[in-house]
Chain A
Amino acid sequence: MKTRILQSRQPRIRYANPRFQGPAVLAFAAIIATGGVIFWKLVDSQFQRVFLHTAIRGHYTFDSAYDIVRDLLSWHLAGLFFAVFLAGSVLVFFLVAATRDGIGKAVDSLRTSADGDLSTPTGTGSIGEFDRFGKKIDDTRSDTLTTVQMIRSEAAELAAGGMSPEEFRLRWDELKQRIRTIAP
């Protein structure tokens, strides 16, 4: 019970990674701003024309300026909503596809590492954050490969013989220590 209370009081950590979330925020902001500017330009020019036309035409059967442009405004607002939502959805699908591709390659790379392939590059693509992450995985695999190869060459050298029992024993113990450093 106590544990449950403690767990519920723990604040949820929300990681903010400017390199990953930053470009997404900027892209969404660009979509909204572009939509807003297009809406402003279209509505401004059409409203100016409609008000002028209505003023000249006469027969004022309306109570307010809103009554004149109600339909026009509704259509433009609907257009703005669909345009921004569709562009945002495309961006969401792009982000998801980039994540699936970038992380998918990292996962495949780790799986082939489990089979012993530590040298094939991860190739996570050119998207900044995933590219950096892929390089980090490659560096880790490369470090492991270097350690394993050093141990292997030392083992082969020791197995070849041609050294005093004291030296052999010393290097044997050192090799054992070095093997213990693999995946501690």
Chain B
Amino acid sequence: MSGPKAAGDGTLVQRRYVHGLLLRLCVNTAGGVGILFIILYFALSRPLHGDYAGVFHALRNLSPFLRPILAVSVLLYALLACGSTSALCIFILHKVAGPLYRMELVLDQYRSGAPTRTVSFRSGDQIQPLAHAFNRWIGSLRRDRHRWLATMMDAERHCLQDEATCRAEMEGALRKIAGDMAKYR
């Protein structure tokens, strides 16, 4: 039971989706670094005027201010980059989280005994083979159920004849159903 085996009904996570996620991550990171550059550029690009002593003192006095400038710019970068990456995670990963949530609802519905409809995910959603596998399982259960009920109804038809034949047919049908159900383990 390994992941790659599940690729029968299409891939679980499409390559295009992964590339899109990486591209957006790249743009996000570049944007964050760009903002950090702009902040530091404006902080450091003030002209150093004056004579030799003036420039010397300006450079010496720059050091105490450098640490808070860097701290604030890095903090701003971190906040902006974290915010945009969080939004990216929520809006991109919902294509996996959404189908998972939907499948959980369907499983709960199935367990509660309510009628279960065929599961289909939205276009663009990932993990599509999960819906196909679930539908296939429910489909096979329904086919078996129909066959068992048809066997029982077929046996009931013999009740138009005498009682003994009816009972024998019913017992035969039950043995057949019990044998059929043995495949479930």
Do chains A and B interact in one complex?
yes
Which listed residue (A39, A111, A140, A168) contacts B111, Cβ 8 A? Answer: A140
Which of A14, A104, A118, A159 is close to B185, meaning CB atoms less than 8 Å apart? A118
Q: A81-B33, A111-B136 are in contact. Are A100 and B82 (CB under 8 A)?
A: no
Tell me, in angstroms, the Cα distance from A60 to B60 when the chains sit together: 13
- Assembled-state Cα–Cα distance A77/B40 (Å): 11
A144 close to B141 (CB less than 8 A): yes
Q: For the complex, would chain A's binding face be called helix, strand, loop or mixed by DSSP majority?
A: helix
Q: Is B154 positioned at the interface, with any CB of A under 8 Å from its CB? A: no
Contacts of B126 in A (CB 8 A): 99
Count CB-based A-B contacts (< 8 Å).
285
**Minimal Cβ-Cβ distance residue in A for B98:** A15
Considering the complex, which residues of chain B in the window 94-120 have a beta carbon less than 8 Å from any beta carbon of chain A? 94, 96-98, 100-104, 107, 110-111, 113-116
Residues of chain A contacted by B37 (CB below 8 angstroms): 73, 77
How far apart are the CA atoms of A133 and B126 in the complex, in Å?
16
Q: Which partner residue on chain B sits nearest A95 by CB separation?
A: B93
Within 8 Å by CB of B86, from A25, A88, A107, A180, lies A25
- Total number of B residues with any Cβ neighbor in A under 8 Å: 99
Chain A residues with CB under 8 Å of B152's CB are: 172, 175-176, 179
Report chain A residues within 8 Å CB of B36.
Answer: 39, 77, 80
**Subset of 6 A-B contacts with CB under 8 Å:** A16-B90, A55-B55, A64-B48, A88-B29, A116-B184, A182-B145
Which residues of A are interface residues toward B (Cβ below 8 A)?
13-17, 20-21, 24-25, 28-29, 32-33, 36-37, 39-40, 43-44, 47-48, 51-52, 54-55, 58, 60, 62-66, 69, 73, 77, 80-81, 84-85, 88-89, 92-93, 95-96, 99-101, 103-120, 122-123, 129, 133, 136-137, 139-140, 143-145, 148-149, 151-152, 155-156, 158-159, 161, 165, 168, 172, 175-176, 179-184
